[in-house]
Copies of this chain bind each other. A is one copy, B any other.
């Protein structure tokens, strides 16, 4: 699929990751999720655990950032070290941009759709679902204990919104950030894959046509 990038933002429990994996398989694209974290971690010199935590609970993370931003005096100058969360974000963003240059991939999470918003090869997708349906999925498919599901879902929703709104100038779940938004409760995962695939093929087709002129 050439230079195409499908960037998927998703609510926890909406099936967005599964959709991304299926798309990657069906369209023969590379898939980046945790692999991306690892890639970013290798080059930045940050501890891999910092990446694991980055998106899990941005609400706590922001407090953590405030308390942990440290400063040093070096070469007679006062240097403020960016908080760990911000360094993780910067390392991830650079990795996403490198991956985007190669194209031919699906990237799930990490504000990729926002970071690549001006990239004409990027299809920007948001996947969401009704709360009850997402609860069922995280218990039934992700194996979260039923008694913990409600609280985890609330924490993840808050965390992803905080993370997105901390690192972008937009709102989590604003339609204008996306080319296509699907509600998996209303439409189901199979149809979501089909719709995103049609949009991806159209994007790819347009790209090919443009390519013909140059």
Contacts and interface: CB of A to CB of B under 8 A. Distances in A.
A160 to B, nearest CB: 13
A191 B173 CA distance: 22
Interface string A161-193: 000000000000111101111110011100100
A122 to B, nearest CB: 10
Q: Which of A181, A182, A202 has the most B CB atoms < 10 Å from its CB?
A: A181
Interface in A44-87: none
Given A173-B176, A175-B128, A202 B181 contact: no
A126 interface: yes
Contact of A173 (B175, B179, B180): B175
A198 interface: yes
Contacts of A110: none
B173 A187 contact: no
Given A175-B174, A181-B181, A182-B180, A199 B203 contact: no
B194 A198 contact: yes
A195 interface: yes
B191 A186 contact: no
A123 interface: yes
B174 A179 contact: no
Given A194-B198, A198-B195, A203 B186 contact: yes
13 contacts: A128-B175, A173-B174, A175-B175, A179-B183, A179-B187, A180-B181, A180-B187, A180-B195, A181-B181, A187-B202, A188-B202, A191-B198, A195-B199
